[in-house]
Structures are given as structure tokens and as C-alpha cells.
């Protein structure tokens, strides 16, 4: 009996194949095979409901044909894409195609597994089910909502601001968070305050303690004059220890990872971007070769999850591991259980992220893994083992010192039992351990001598800008997005010209601020974080069968259509942001921020009477400063045509090198690849067009070779063309492709 298993990623094929017998053929859809059409909205709504049009994605015709050809010969077909909404829609789409060619009595089942192990796969095959149409409808609802916002709002932005702009239902809300934070930073007014530390002598030791109270009131000192007055008064008092409080402080282990916390920890501890973390986690989930290069081994459970649940078998295994490898007092009497603290509703469809086999320690397999995969596995393994260990314990002593109306307090902390810290150490927010050592012979009523008073000036600080880690944390806290969407949200924000990264922190561009202000003003509902979080909850209800897909979509569309119509009819002409800066050329009109294909610039509002333009920068407070245009830089290179010096120039497509003899000499230096065009033998040079830059044959128009994707200088293993191109999908998965139309070579990385 022939059996076919269809997975989502080709990387899983080898891992699964080694676990099953030869009756099974395993094939991959290589991600989605169908989607909404790219050149029209593909969604219609009427009194009968919502209709969705799907088309086969470019390049997937051959994939579908191959799967269907194999399926037509099989008796049982198992749909096994990833166990989430995206996986369910992939399974539904390929099932529709298979149904056209399957044998009359062929059976089609949906199976899913949280880990790629023999027990998990056998269990799934032994208990097959049907596609979950509620999950399919939830994915459709999300896709339609995103299509409506992106497809309907983006053209309005083209008309009102600049061509090529786009909006996204969730991404635009995340951008708003970044912009709101930037506004609060710009508007923040620092407030001065002072701290005072007293240095007290006790025998041969010194105790540094901050002033906490003046009388019964908290010591709040606003300026230097008050600080000096307090300092002089402090010097006149006699001091003694008023009280000593000893207690044991417990620090509990952190829960196992879920998607958001893994992304945050990998960013903070390893310096991995969210996108990189998910790519590496995907490799660990799908399987990597260890001792046997031909036999990949899956190392972690499914990495897109918002659950902290741990399977009983995994708990038994990790408790056994702790019992065997650590002293008896490191293992709690019963397993630790964790619950989420955020607004987002836990789906609990999967477990937390954990190693499949805890006995496969990082030390045992590090030598077989690529460096980054080894680092992430080490992090996941340690966090999981630590989560089932006893808390750390600190002996904490607080000493209160009094003199007259003044009270000083100092707390010292000593680690007395490391517990889970023996395996995993990561400070949570507000969990910094005290490093203050206090003398052991302190007693209440002991007199102390004030040797020095140290006043220090401080200023309040604004909230910091978002990093990838803190933005994911905020999105999760507000219930915006889901584990499968965080990486895509951040990728989209970074890819657009709406933000820039400065010291790994998101800074909105002028364009990002203007787009956000315009959307908040005209589409307040879709730009409201609370509404976006509510929509996530509604999508969850669709997935659970508690809400009809079309009811959700119709309710959204009713308000959205009304707001959109009003937005479309407002404010003709391009959006410009008027400033308070007077034009330095005509001295009659103010300057305004305008937008073009090459970015934002300042232009006189008196145009066309005045043609003044200038680049600009903003300081930390948001104040605009005009930027002088740099003169072209002469280079120590001669023009090969006329012999004059070449110079570095800047144009609308970026920097380039050209002859200083222009316009008499029009020579422009071209970047050239180190190999020739395989079609014509001519050079392959960098060219520019309105969409950016690409590589093209210098023999154009006779040879029309054009390459828009990044180039890998690796010869094609099939046809020996001198290079491959790398295409990366929205999930960050990369595929090497040969552009030789007669070859068709592809290899997923």
C-alpha cells in the first residue's frame, strides 16, 4: 500500500524519511502554493457572504504537478504541513489539487506533530484526522483583513504623499508605537533631582547608604541649593543603626521559552535579530545532521507557540536528568508549572519550546552544529532544564541608619543557594542582584560615624527607543500579532523606508511619522492598538468556532469602507509638513518637508516662485537643522576616456563615480561582476532603474540578461553557470536558484 506524506518545508524530508519505512513517500509544498492574486484585490463581499479568489503562486505549478502525479498513485495521503493556521491553509490548498487526481478510494488525512521524532510521527499517523476548517477560515480572515488594508489604503498614500508607499493592518500599528515613543522622547522635559549618599564608619569597615527619608517624608531633593542645605544639616547629626532586618529572598526560575521570549532572549544574550532567531530555530526543529551527515536529527519542538505547557513525558525526562546530574536539593518535590502574564490569549495548541531529548546536552552535540545553531540550542536547552529546578536563595540584610530627622537605608544580598542559576542566568527586568557587602558584626543601636556625604545631580530620562526585543515584548503585552507574525512584522517595518536603525534601536523617518499621523487621523480604528488586539481575539474566536468568518469580515468592512471613503475624499494634492523655518533664499515663505523617490527634503512653500531646497537632519529633540550639500569629492583616479580626474557623486540611485569633465565627457564608472555573461560573453554591470539597482549584461539590448536578486558567486552544480541567485521569502527562508531557464536548479538553504 503506497502512502504519501506532504510536508511544508523540504528540509523535513530527510529527517522524517529516516524514521519511517519505504512504504512512505515524503514530498514538500515548499511553503504556500496559492494566494490572493497580486494584480487585483481578489476578495468580494455581498449579501451572500465573502468570496475569496486564489491563484497558484509563480513557480509553484511544477511543485503542484509533481505532488499530484505522486498522489494519483497512492492509497493514503497524509497532509502534514506545520501545525498552525498557515500550515492548515497550505494543507487545504494542496488537498484541493489532489482531490482532482486521487484514486477513487484513496483516503486523505490531516496529521500534525509538535516534534519530528519517531514516537510523535507514529502517533500522528496512528490517529489521523481531517483538516480543521475553522483554522483555515481564521487564516483566510487574517489574510483578507490584511489585503483590504494594504490594497485599499496604499494607493491613497501614493496620491497624498509619494508613490510606492504601503500600509499594513498590524505593521502600521507597530509603526505607530515606534512613532509615539519618538514623540514622547522629543517632548520629554528632563527634571533635575539629587541623591545623597552617606558613608559611615563601623570599626574598620565603611558602609555607603543612600538617604531615603527626611522625617516621615520620602527624600525628594529637586535642586543643588536644597541638596547643599541638607548636606550641611546632615553633618551636624549623630548616627546609629536603628534596625537590622534579615530575610531570605527567593528568585524563581524563568518559564521555558515561547516564541516571543525566545526572540527577546536571543536578541539580548546572543545579538540575534528576530528574523535570524526564527531561521535558526526552524533549522533546529526540522533537523540537522549530527554524527551521521546523511541523517538529520530534529533537536527542538515547534518554535511558533505562545504556550508554556510542557508534556508529561518531557517533564519526567528533565526531572530524571536533574536528579541524575545535580545534587538532590536542586530538584523540586513536584514539577514547576507556569502561566502567561500578558493580555494575549494563549492558544495552547503546542508545547513551549524545548529540546526534544534533554539528554542530548549542548556539550554532546556542539561539535556537529553550525556556531549559531549551537548557541541557540544551548540557550533553549539551559532555559528548559533550569525551569524545572529549585529557586535561587539570597540572604538579604537591610540596615536602617538614623540621625535626627534623617534616615538612610542600605540592603546587602548574598547568594546562599544557586538553584536554577547553576544552569541558566538571565536577568529579568528589575531583577538585578545587589552586590553590596555589609559587615557581619553589625548590631542594632551601634553608633556610626558619618565620614563623608556624597551629593549627586541626576536628570530624569525619557523612555528608550524600541529595539527588536523590546518591540516584540510590547506587541505581546498589548496582544498585537501572534507567534507566527512577530518576525514578519519586524521584517516589514525594517524593509520599508518608515524606520531606520540607530545603535540597534528603531527611529522613525520623517516619512514614517507623516504616514502614521495621516493614518491615525483618517483611519483611527485600524490604527488603534486596542482595536488591533481585539481583532486578534476575534480571529482566535474564528479558529475556535466561536465566531463566523464572514460576520467578522463584514463587521470590519462596514466601518473600514466608511472611513476609507472619507479619507479618499480629503485633502487633494501631495502631503507636505510645514515647518517654522523661514526660507533662507526668498525670506518670504516657510520651508516644508516634502517627499520624493530619493527621500525627504526641505522645500520652499513659495514654489514655483522660489526653488530653494535643502537636505536636513533632526537633533535628539526633533529640531530641524539644514544640511549643506557636500561638493563632489575628486578622486585620485583618471577618466579612461578623457584623462581628467574622476569624482564621487550622489544621485537619485545612490553614490556613483563619474568624470569631472561632465558635460563634455559623460563617462560613468560601472561596477562589474568578476565573471562574464554566460549568454553573450560580455561584462555583467550594475544598472539602475526606478525600482533600484540590478545586474545586467553590457551587451544590452542584444543580450537581455537581468538579475534582480542577490548574487551568490557559486557555480550552478547542474549546468555550471558561474553564479546562482538567492531569493528570500517573507518567513526568512532562502533558496539558491539558477537563472538559466534550461536548468531549473533550486536548493533551499
The tens digit of pLDDT for each residue in 443-482 reads: 999 999 999 999 999 999 999 999 999 999 999 999 998 8
- H-helix or E-strand spanning residue 88: helix 85-99
Higher-pLDDT residue of 440 and 101 is 101
pLDDT for the residue 495: 78
Cβ proximity of 684 and 674 under 8 Å = no
Select which of 54, 239, 285, 302 is catalytic: 302
What average pLDDT is seen over the chain? 90
**Closest C-alpha to 363, from 385, 341, 348, 335:** 385
pLDDT for the residue 662: 87
Concerning whether 302 is annotated as a catalytic residue, the answer is: yes
Domains in the chain: boundaries: 3-131, 139-188+464-569, 192-252+392-459, 259-387, 577-627
**Closest C-alpha to 85, from 284, 279, 282, 350:** 350
Cβ proximity of 223 and 192 under 8 Å = yes
User: 398 pLDDT exceeds 90?
Assistant: yes
Cα 190-193-194 angle, rounded to 5 deg: 150
Decide: residue 129, CB within 10 A, 0-12 exposed, 13-18 middle, 19+ buried.
Answer: exposed
What is the number of alpha carbons within 13 Å of residue 212 lying toward its C-beta?
12
Say which CATH superfamily domain 139-188+464-569 falls into.
Topoisomerase I, domain 2 (1.10.460.10)
Helix-then-strand count for the chain, H and E: 17, 35
What is the value of pTM for the model shown?
A: 0.80
Is the preceding omega at residue 638 within 30 degrees of 0, hence cis? Answer: no
User: 563 pLDDT exceeds 50?
Assistant: yes
Read off the pLDDT of residues 142-160 as tens digits, 9 standing for 90 and up: 999 999 999 999 999 988 8
The fraction of the chain above a pLDDT of 90, given in percent, is 68
259-387 topology per CATH: Topoisomerase I; domain 4 (1.10.290)
Mean pLDDT on 45-57:
93
User: 704 pLDDT exceeds 70?
Assistant: yes
pLDDT for the residue 430: 45
192-252+392-459 topology per CATH: Topoisomerase I; domain 3 (2.70.20)
Indicate the CATH number for domain 3-131: 3.40.50.140
Read off the pLDDT of residues 485-494 as tens digits, 9 standing for 90 and up: 899 899 888 8
pLDDT for the residue 115: 93
Task: Of 297-301, 323-327, 331-335, 340-344, give the lowest mean pLDDT range.
Answer: 340-344
Classify strands 3-7 and 24-28 as parallel, antiparallel or unpaired. Answer: parallel
Does the fold of domain 192-252+392-459 match that of domain 139-188+464-569? no
Amino acid at each position: 500500500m503506497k502512502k504519501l506524506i506532504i510536508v511544508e518545508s523540504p528540509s523535513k524530508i530527510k529527517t522524517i524519511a529516516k524514521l519511517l519505512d519505504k512504504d512512505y513517500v515524503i514530498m514538500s509544498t515548499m511553503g504556500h502554493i496559492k494566494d490572493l492574486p497580486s494584480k487585483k484585490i481578489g476578495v468580494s463581499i455581498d449579501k451572500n457572504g465573502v468570496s475569496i479568489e486564489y491563484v497558484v503562486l509563480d513557480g509553484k505549478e511544477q511543485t503542484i504537478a509533481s505532488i499530484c502525479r505522486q498522489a494519483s498513485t497512492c492509497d493514503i495521503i497524509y497532509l502534514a504541513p506545520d501545525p498552525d493556521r498557515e500550515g492548515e491553509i497550505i494543507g487545504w490548498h494542496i488537498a484541493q489539487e489532489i482531490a482532482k487526481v486521487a484514486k477513487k478510494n484513496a483516503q486523505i488525512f490531516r496529521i500534525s506533530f509538535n516534534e519530528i521524532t519517531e514516537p510523535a510521527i507514529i502517533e500522528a499517523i496512528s490517529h489521523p484526522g481531517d483538516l480543521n476548517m475553522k483554522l483555515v477560515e481564521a487564516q483566510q480572515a487574517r489574510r483578507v483583513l490584511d489585503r483590504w488594508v494594504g490594497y485599499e489604503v496604499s494607493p491613497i498614500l501614493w496620491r497624498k504623499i509619494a508613490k510606492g508607499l504601503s500600509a499594513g493592518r498590524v505593521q502600521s500599528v507597530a509603526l505607530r508605537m515606534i512613532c509615539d515613543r519618538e514623540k514622547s522622547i522629543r517632548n520629554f522635559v528632563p527634571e533635575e533631582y539629587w541623591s545623597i549618599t552617606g558613608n559611615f564608619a563601623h570599626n574598620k569597615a565603611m558602609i555607603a547608604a543612600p538617604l531615603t527619608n527626611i522625617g516621615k517624608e520620602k527624600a525628594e531633593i529637586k535642586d543643588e541649593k536644597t541638596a547643599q542645605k541638607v548636606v550641611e544639616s546632615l553633618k551636624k547629626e549623630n548616627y546609629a543603626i536603628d534596625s537590622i532586618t534579615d530575610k531570605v529572598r527567593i528568585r524563581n526560575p524563568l518559564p521555558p521559552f515561547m516564541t516571543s521570549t525566545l526572540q527577546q532572549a536571543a536578541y539580548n544574550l546572543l545579538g540575534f535579530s528576530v528574523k535570524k532567531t526564527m531561521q535558526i530555530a526552524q533549522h533546529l526543529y526540522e533537523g540537522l545532521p549530527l554524527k551521521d551527515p546523511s541523517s538529520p536529527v530534529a533537536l527542538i519542538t515547534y518554535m511558533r507557540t505562545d504556550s508554556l505547557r510542557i508534556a508529561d513525558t518531557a517533564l519526567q525526562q528533565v526531572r530524571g536528568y536533574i536528579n541524575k546530574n545535580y545534587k538532590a536539593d536542586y530538584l523540586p518535590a513536584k514539577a514547576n508549572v507556569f502561566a502567561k502574564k500578558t493580555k494575549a490569549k494563549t492558544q495552547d495548541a503546542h508545547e513551549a519550546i524545548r529540546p526534544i531529548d534533554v539528554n542530548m546536552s549542548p556539550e554532546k552535540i556542539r561539535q556537529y552544529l553550525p556556531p549559531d545553531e549551537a548557541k541557540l540550542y544551548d540557550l533553549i536547552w539551559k532555559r528548559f532544564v533550569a525551569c524545572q529546578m529549585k529557586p535561587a536563595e539570597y540572604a538579604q540584610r537591610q540596615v536602617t541608619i538614623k540621625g535626627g530627622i534623617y534616615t538612610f537605608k542600605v540592603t546587602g544580598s548574598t547568594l546562599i543557594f544557586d538553584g536554577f542559576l547553576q544552569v541558566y542566568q538571565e536577568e529579568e527586568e528589575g531583577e538585578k542582584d545587589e552586590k553590596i557587602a555589609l559587615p557581619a558584626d553589625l548590631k542594632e543601636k551601634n553608633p556610626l560615624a558619618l565620614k563623608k556625604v556624597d551629593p549627586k545631580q541626576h536628570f530624569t530620562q525619557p523612555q528608550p527607543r524600541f529595539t527588536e526585543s523590546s518591540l516584540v515584548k510590547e506587541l505581546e503585552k498589548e496582544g498585537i500579532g501572534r507567534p507566527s507574525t512577530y518576525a514578519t512584522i519586524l521584517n516589514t517595518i525594517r524593509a520599508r523606508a518608515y524606520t531606520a536603525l540607530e545603535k540597534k534601536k528603531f527611529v522613525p523617518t520623517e516619512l514614517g511619522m507623516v504616514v502614521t499621523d495621516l493614518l491615525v487621523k483618517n483611519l483611527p480604528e485600524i490604527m488603534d492598538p486596542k482595536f488591533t488586539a481585539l481583532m486578534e481575539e476575534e480571529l482566535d474566536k474564528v479558529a475556535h468556532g466561536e465566531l463566523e468568518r464572514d460576520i467578522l469580515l463584514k463587521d470590519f468592512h462596514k466601518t473600514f469602507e466608511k472611513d476609507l471613503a472619507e479619507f479618499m475624499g480629503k485633502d487633494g494634492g501631495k502631503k507636505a509638513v510645514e515647518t517654522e523655518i523661514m526660507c533662507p533664499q526668498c525670506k518670504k515663505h516657510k520651508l516644508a518637508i516634502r517627499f520624493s523617490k530619493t527621500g525627504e527634503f526641505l522645500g520652499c512653500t513659495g514654489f514655483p516662485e522660489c526653488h530653494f531646497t535643502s537636505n536636513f537632519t533632526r537633533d535628539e529633540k526633533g529640531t530641524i537643522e539644514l544640511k549643506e550639500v557636500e561638493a563632489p569629492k575628486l578622486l585620485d583616479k583618471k577618466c579612461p576616456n578623457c584623462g581628467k580626474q574622476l569624482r564621487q557623486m550622489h544621485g537619485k540611485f545612490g553614490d556613483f563615480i563619474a568624470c569631472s569633465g561632465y558635460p563634455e565627457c559623460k563617462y560613468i564608472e560601472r561596477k562589474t561582476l568578476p565573471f562574464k555573461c554566460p549568454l553573450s560573453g560580455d561584462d555583467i554591470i550594475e544598472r539602475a532603474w526606478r525600482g533600484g539597482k540590478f545586474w545586467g549584461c553590457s551587451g544590452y539590448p542584444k543580450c537581455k540578461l537581468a538579475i534582480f536578486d542577490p548574487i551568490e558567486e557559486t557555480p550552478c552544480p547542474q549546468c555550471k553557470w558561474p553564479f546562482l541567485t538567492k531569493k528570500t521569502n517573507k518567513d526568512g527562508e532562502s533558496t539558491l536558484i539558477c537563472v538559466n531557464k534550461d536548468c531549473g536548479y533550486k536548493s533551499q538553504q
